A and B are shown apart, each in its own frame.
Chain A
C-alpha cells in the first residue's frame, strides 16, 4: 500500500526507533540501535522540549504564496510566531478554538476561515494544521478540505500533528512532508528526460542554501529546491526530477524516500556538506548520479584550494571541543573539527535513530569512548557534562548558550550562522578563531553565579534518564 494513502505517517520512534534521551559511549549507543528492539529511555524531568506542531509550522512558513491555518486554541499558534518574525514565505492565522468549539466541533469555523482567507489573500495553497485539541475532539478537517477544494478550486492541504503522539518533534517534519507530497505531488506521470535535480532543504539558513545552489549550479544542474521556498507547483515538478539529494538526511529523509517509493525518483544518500571532506563527498554523490564525476572532482579541488587559502593559519590542534547540535550537523562538525586537528570530547545531539546506525558504528570503531548525549532542550544536563569534561570550545545551536558560556570556555553559536560548503567552512572558521583568540567574554561570564546548585553537579548528568520499566 502506498504510504501516502495514510492520513499521517507513523511517528519517528515507530518508524526509525528514534530516541530523544540517552547518555553513554558511542559503542553502547551503536549496539543499542543495532539490537533487535531499541529500548526507549524517558526523562523523569525535562527542562524544555519542542513538539511536532512547532516543526510543522517552521516548515510551512517556508512555502511561498501560502496561508497556514492553525486549527487550535490561540496559544498553539504562538509556536509559529518565531518563524513569522523571520521573513516567512506564507501567512499564519489561528481559528481560536474556544470552550464551545471543543464541545460542539468547529468545522464551520474552519470552513469560514479558509473561505475568508481565500477571498482576502488569494493564496496558491492553504494549509490546515491540526492540534492537540483536534486530536482529542476529532474535528472533521477532512470534510472541510474536500468540500472547499471543489467549491473554491483551491489546493488545501491538511497536516495532521497532535503535539503529543510522538516524543520526537522531528515527527512534525515527516507529517508535513507527507501532507505536501500527498496533496501537491499529484498522480505519477510518465518520466521525461531532464536534468532537473531536487535539492531537499527543510530548515537551512539562507547563506547555506545559496552555497548549495552555487555549487550545484556550477555542475550545470537545473535545480528544484524544496520544501523551503517552494511553491505548490514545485512539489509536482519534484515528482519527475532525475533524482533527489538532501542537505540534511535527518529532516529530509521522509521526502526523499517518499519521492523514491511513490514516484521512482532516485534518492541519493549523501552526507551533510559540512567541512571539506563531507562537502567533497556530497558533490561526488551528485556527480556520480549525473555521470559528471570528473567535473565534480575538479570543482571540489578548485573550491578546496580557494578555501584553504582563506583558512591559512586556521588550526584546532590541541583544542578540546564539545558539540551541542542537531544530529546531522553535529556529525558533520565533528568531522570538520577533526580535519583541522581538534579533539571532540563529547557531543549532544537532538535525537538518534536508524538513519545514524552506520555513522555510529564507524564512530564506535574510531572513538569507542566518545560520550554521546541525546537531548533536545536540556541545558541542565549539558552544563553538568561540560563541568566534567571542561572543553576549550563549545559549538552549539542551543537557545541556552548563555548558561553554557557561564562555565568559562569559548562558546560559538551556530544558530543563524552559515556552515555548509566551502563558504560555510570559511565563515565558521572565522567565528571559531575569534572566540578562541578572545576568551575574556567567557572569563567574565564565569565570574557570575553558576547556573545550577552544586547538588545537581554532584549527581550524574544522566540522573533523570531512565529506562522505561512497566
Chain B
C-alpha cells in the first residue's frame, strides 16, 4: 500500500439525497481555499464529480481496468474546478459482478499507482452511495482508507434510515481501526421542522449536525450549468453555506462513534415525529399549552 497523504474523508448518504452535490461543493470550497483536493466518486452511477468537470465525460476506473491492462492516472482522472482531481470508481456492467468489490479494486488501484504520494493532496473526499452498507460499500470506512466519515441526510425517513445504517457500520468498524463519524450534514432543509428533526436524530445517536444546507434554486440552477455553486454563484448565500461546511471539515477534527438506534427505537422515534408534525400542521393546542 502506498503511503497515505492528506486527510481522507468519506461522505455517505442515501442515493438522490444531494450527497454528490454537497461533496462536490465542499471539494470546490476546499480548493478555493487553496487546498489540493481529490474527489473519488464511489457510486456505480459514476456521476459524483460531474459538476466539478462541467459535465464532461470521464472514463471510470473499472471501465478502464476492463479495457486496459496498464492503467495510468491520466487515463482515469480529470482536473476540475479549482484543480480538484476528479476520479470515478464506476461499477460493473449492470446486473453482473459486485459493485462493492469494484470500489475496493478501484481504491487499491489508486494506492498502487501511488496517487496519494505523487499528487500530495491535502484532502481526499470519497463520495459513497449509502443505500447499501454491505461489506463492499463499507470499504472506505474500513481498513484505514478514510479517517473520518460524514453523512448527508434530509428529513425524509428513508434518508434517516440510511444514515442510521451507516452509523451501525461505523459503530462496528471504528473499534478495529475504521473511520469515526465527523458529523451529520442536513441537506435540502426546507420545512421548518426539518432542522429540528435532524438535530433530534443526531442527539439521539450521540452525534451532531455540522451544517444545514437549505434547499435552494441556486443549487438547481448551478447543476443545470454543470457547475458547483462555488463556481457558478460564488457570492451567493448558498456558496457561503458550503464554504462554512468545508471550513468546519478543515478546522474541526473531532469525531465520535455514533450510537445507532435499533429497529423498534427508530420506528418509535419516527412515530413521535410523525405525531408532532401532524399536530403542528393541524394546529393542535395541548392542555395548558396556552397558559
Q: How far is the CA of A143 from the CA of B169 in the complex (A)?
A: 12
The reply to whether the CB of A142 lies closer than 8 angstroms to some CB of chain B is yes
Q: Are B135 and A139 in contact (CB under 8 A)?
A: yes
Chain B contact residues: helix, strand, loop or mixed: loop
Residues of B within 8 A of A138 (CB): 100, 104, 134-136, 138-139, 142
| B229 to A: closest C-beta gap in Å | 36
Chain B residues, CB < 8 A from A37: 70
A193 within 8 A of B: no
**Cβ-based interface call for A98 (8 A):** no
Number of A-B residue pairs with CB-CB distance less than 8 Å in the complex they form: 47
User: How far does the Cβ of A156 sit from chain B's closest Cβ, in whole Å?
Assistant: 12
- The reply to whether B1 and A10 form a contact with Cβ atoms under 8 Å apart is yes
Selected contact of A1 from candidates B3, B98, B101, B176, CB within 8 Å: B3
Contact B69 A470 (CB under 8 A): yes
The reply on A7 being an interface residue by CB < 8 A is: yes
* Docked complex Cα distance between A145 and B177 (Å): 12
Interface SS majority for chain A: loop
* Cβ-neighbour of A143 out of B101, B134, B172 (below 8 A): B172
A272 to B148, CA, bound (A): 48
Query: Which chain A residues lie closer than 8 Å to B177 at the CB level?
Result: 142
Q: Report the Cα distance A138→B112, complex, angstroms.
A: 20
Contact with A along B170-184 (1 / 0, CB 8 A): 001101110000000
Inter-subunit contact A6/B1 (CB<8 Å)? yes
Instruction: List residues 106-142 of chain A with CB under 8 A from any CB of chain B.
Output: 135-140, 142
Q: Please state if A143 and B135 are interface contacts (CB–CB under 8 Å).
A: no
Q: Give the docked Cα–Cα distance between A14 and B173 (Å).
A: 28
Whether A40 is near chain B, meaning CB under 8 Å from some CB there, is: yes
Q: B residues 147-198 with Cβ under 8 Å of A?
A: 172-173, 175-177
Q: What sequence of 0s and 1s flags, for each residue 1-24 of chain A, a beta carbon within 8 Å of any chain B beta carbon?
A: 100011100100010000000000
Report the interface size for chain A: residues with CB under 8 A from the other chain: 23
Find out whether the CB atom of B68 lies under 8 angstroms from the CB atom of A136: no
CB-CB nearest in chain B for A107: B172
0/1 string, B225-245, CB within 8 A of A gives 1: 000000000000000000000
Q: Are A142 and B1 also in contact (CB < 8 A) when A105-B135, A136-B101, A137-B135 are?
A: no
In the bound complex, CA of A143 to CA of B135 (Å):
13
B279 at interface, CB cutoff 8 A: no
Decide if A146 is an interface residue (CB 8 Å cutoff).
yes
- Chain A residues contacting B176 (CB-CB under 8 Å) are 140, 142-143, 145-146
Residues of B in contact, count (CB < 8 Å): 24
Q: Measured between alpha carbons, how far is A288 from B100 in the docked complex, in Å?
A: 52
Residues in A with CB closer than 8 Å to B143 are 7
Complex CA gap A142/B175 in Å reads 10
> Are B173 and A40 closer than 8 Å at their CB atoms?
no
- A153: interface (CB < 8 Å): no
Q: In the complex, what distance in Å separates the CA atom of A143 from the CA atom of B142?
A: 11
CA distance A14 to B113 in the complex (A): 10
A87 at the interface (CB under 8 A from B): no
Q: Tell yes or no: A468 within 8 A of B by CB.
A: yes
Residue in A5, A135, A137, A468 whose CB lies within 8 Å of B69? A468
8 smallest CB-CB distances across A and B, nearest first, come from A138-B135, A6-B1, A142-B176, A1-B3, A143-B176, A470-B69, A470-B68, A146-B176
Supplied contacts A1-B1, A143-B175, 5 more A-B pairs, CB within 8 Å: A138-B134, A138-B136, A139-B135, A140-B142, A469-B69
User: Can you list 15 pairs linking A and B with CB atoms under 8 Å apart?
Assistant: A1-B4, A6-B1, A10-B112, A37-B70, A40-B69, A105-B135, A135-B101, A138-B104, A138-B134, A140-B135, A140-B142, A140-B176, A142-B176, A143-B173, A145-B176
List A residues at the B interface (Cβ < 8 Å).
1, 5-7, 10, 14, 37, 40, 105, 135-140, 142-143, 145-147, 468-470
